[in-house]
């Protein structure tokens, strides 16, 4: 698909997401000459800035995040694409003036992408106002709307939000963004699985013991106290990012890499996940909250001491769960997912543990280290693919050690590309492969809703863990005593 020029209208352009992700990503796309000629960027914000002030702010945003010094020639070209539109989302005047700008004599493209970098509670209001001023009319060009997560607060709210926005847009116009799907290493999971035929015979319940998906952070909640206390780790990470990773690992080969074929297979996985009855929640899910501790040698506060957090809050900052996929390939294989704030290390990874050999040939020898084979996929910050196996140590005795075959995702001379660069460009191409279809969102909420409902009424107690640890003790989730959380991408037995 070829990228087409458009008017990129960004609501919330002065906010944190725009500052740290969107403006630097658009600049890098322009620097690489991926933005088509005629593409303009309309930044909407309430701040009383003129064009010169806005451009100065943009330069600060880019300098703070760019991978190298700002190229003045590129930046000048980028500035020529910029247009600052002051307006309040709650006032009709904002949309009337925007419509005049887009349809006036400013030479804006007839193709328009609206990026809603705003609170989900404002989605419906903004869309209603855009529709009222005919800004979704596709008579002369396409209209696409990019929506940031969270898409809803639970199943009911997600369905209500979808019902409201479907009054104004059809599904093909909606781009629900999950920045995880824009990460190069996440996309490499698909290549690793489907471009290497040697893996296919092993990728099933006959050879795989269990699969772990981890997203750990060593940071706390920063200034997001009000949002985070109403969301929690399960909504913030598990329902969206980690379930998406699970679908990529577990899906069947799609008939093509087309958007609908790819998303059809992901939905099949979500529909095959065994429902968790409310009476079984404690056997399948665990939550915890960080207390005071030490991160990188510095003492840090616990969650209850953070700004805007009620002293009796039982919002989880750590969540883990066990899922089963009841289909032919994965029946009986547990998938363990976990995420947490203030953990020992920042790391996102997929760890695939293979079964032990059916016979232990080395039980009467000096072999002490007989770990199972693992396939390790490092997502961030370490991007890697590793296959662990047992080999004999040099020498006369039968001794072994674990070694790994490493496949680096990026060569040393290759630059990292931010996920938002890829996703923003895909909107221009009209490729929805890396964006979520509503049935993906809906079935993900169906999976976690029983857990959310159970935790909502259990407000007397929540387990705690020291900041800087690997979280609370939740070993009861595991099916076997031999299973435990894998917290490293290096061999655990040398």
Report the mean per-residue pLDDT for the chain.
Answer: 89
Cα separation, 445 vs 453, whole angstroms? 11
3-class SS of residue 250: helix
The answer to whether 262 touches 436, Cβ cutoff 8 Å, is: no
Beta strands in 240-333 (DSSP E): 285-291, 293-295, 298-300, 318-324
Q: What's the mean pLDDT in 219-233?
A: 88
Quick check: 193 pLDDT over 50?
Answer: yes
Residue matched to tokens 């490499």: 188
The fraction of the chain above a pLDDT of 90, given in percent, is 63
The answer to which of 174-183, 312-321, 469-478 has the lowest mean pLDDT is 174-183
Q: What's the mean pLDDT in 189-208?
A: 91
Residue matched to tokens 């032990």: 356
What's the confidence (pLDDT) of residue 412?
A: 67
Which is more confident, 394 or 203?
203
What's the confidence (pLDDT) of residue 352?
A: 96
The fraction of the chain above a pLDDT of 70, given in percent, is 96
What is this structure's pTM? 0.91
CA quadruple 63, 68, 72, 74: dihedral sign: negative
The answer to whether 437 touches 151, Cβ cutoff 8 Å, is: no
Cα separation, 176 vs 438, whole angstroms? 8
Annotated catalytic residue, options 179, 210, 215, 241: 241
pLDDT in tens, 321-379: 999 999 999 999 999 999 999 999 999 999 999 998 775 666 666 665 568 899 999 98
Quick check: 494 pLDDT over 50?
Answer: no
Closest CA to 409 of 386, 388, 387: 386
Beta-carbon-side half-sphere exposure of residue 76 (alpha carbons within 13 Å): 2
CA quadruple 469, 474, 475, 478: dihedral sign: negative
Which is more confident, 142 or 392?
142
Q: What's the mean pLDDT in 93-107?
A: 86
Instruction: Kindly list the structural domains of the chain, giving each domain's residue range(s) and its CATH number in brackets, ordered by start.
Output: 7-148 (3.40.50.720), 184-414+438-477 (3.30.360.10)
The answer to whether 317 touches 340, Cβ cutoff 8 Å, is: yes
Q: What's the mean pLDDT in 378-393?
A: 85
Quick check: 54 pLDDT over 80?
Answer: yes
Rounded to 10 deg, the angle between the 72-79 and 51-65 helix axes is 140
Residue matched to tokens 């092993």: 202
- Is residue 85 part of the annotated active site? The answer reads no
Q: What's the mean pLDDT in 223-245?
A: 90
CA quadruple 18, 22, 28, 29: dihedral sign: negative
Helices (H), 105-224: 123-132, 155-165, 184-194
3-class SS of residue 410: coil
Cα separation, 194 vs 250, whole angstroms? 12
What's the confidence (pLDDT) of residue 363?
A: 63
297 Cβ contact partners less than 8 Å away, ≥ 6 residues apart: none
Q: What's the mean pLDDT in 95-99?
A: 92
Residue 110 DSSP one-character state: S
* Tokens coding 423: 């996703």
Q: What's the mean pLDDT in 29-58?
A: 92
Beta strands in 355-452 (DSSP E): 374-380, 384-392, 400-408, 435-436
Give the angle subtended at the CA of 357 by the CAs of 356 and 358, to the nearest 5°.
110
């Amino acid at each position: 698909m070829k990228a087409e020029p458009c008017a990129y209208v960004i609501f919330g352009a002065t906010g944190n997401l725009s500052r740290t992700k969107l403006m630097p990503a658009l600049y890098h796309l322009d620097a690489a000459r991926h933005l088509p000629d005629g593409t303009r960027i309309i930044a909407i914000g309430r701040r009383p800035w003129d064009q010169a002030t806005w451009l100065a702010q943009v330069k600060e945003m880019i300098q703070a995040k760019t991978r190298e010094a700002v190229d003045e020639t590129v930046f000048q070209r980028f500035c020529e694409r910029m247009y600052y539109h002051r307006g309040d989302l709650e006032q009709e005047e904002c949309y009337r003036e925007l419509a005049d700008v887009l349809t006036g004599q400013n030479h804006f493209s007839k193709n328009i992408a609206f990026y809603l970098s705003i609170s989900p509670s404002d989605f419906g209001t903004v869309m209603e106002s855009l529709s009222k001023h005919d800004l979704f009319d596709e008579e002369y060009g396409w209209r696409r709307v990019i929506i940031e997560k969270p898409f809803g607060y639970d199943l009911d709210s997600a369905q209500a939000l979808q019902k409201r926005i479907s009054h104004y847009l059809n599904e093909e116009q909606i781009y629900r963004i999950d920045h995880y799907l824009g990460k190069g290493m996440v996309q490499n999971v698909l290549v690793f699985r489907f471009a290497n035929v040697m893996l296919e015979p092993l990728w099933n319940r006959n050879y795989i013991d269990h699969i772990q998906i981890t997203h750990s952070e060593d940071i706390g909640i920063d200034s997001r106290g009000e949002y985070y206390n109403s969301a929690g780790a399960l909504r913030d990470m598990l329902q969206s990012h980690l379930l998406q990773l699970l679908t990529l690992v577990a899906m069947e080969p799609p008939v093509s890499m087309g958007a609908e074929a790819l998303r059809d297979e992901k939905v099949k996985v979500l529909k095959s996940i065994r429902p968790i009855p409310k009476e079984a929640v404690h056997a399948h899910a665990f939550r915890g909250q960080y207390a005071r501790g030490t991160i990188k040698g510095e003492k840090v506060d616990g969650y209850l001491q953070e700004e805007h957090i009620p002293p009796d809050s039982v919002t989880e900052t750590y969540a883990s769960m066990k899922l089963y996929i009841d289909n032919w390939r994965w029946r009986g294989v547990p998938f363990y997912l976990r995420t947490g704030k203030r953990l020992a290390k920042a790391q996102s990874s997929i760890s695939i543990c293979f079964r032990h050999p059916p016979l232990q040939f080395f039980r009467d020898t000096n072999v002490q280290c007989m770990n199972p084979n693992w396939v390790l996929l490092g997502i961030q910050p370490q991007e890697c693919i590793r296959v662990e196996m047992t080999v004999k140590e040099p020498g006369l005795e039968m001794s072994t050690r674990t070694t790994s075959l490493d496949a680096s995702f990026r060569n040393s001379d290759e630059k990292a590309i931010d996920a938002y660069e890829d996703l923003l460009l895909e909107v221009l191409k009209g490729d929805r492969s890396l964006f979520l279809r509503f049935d993906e969102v809906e079935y993900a909420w169906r999976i976690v809703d029983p857990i959310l409902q159970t935790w909502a009424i259990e407000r007397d107690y929540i387990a705690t863990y020291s900041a800087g640890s690997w979280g609370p003790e939740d070993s009861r989730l595991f099916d076997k005593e031999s299973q435990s959380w894998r917290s490293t991408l290096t061999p655990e037995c040398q």
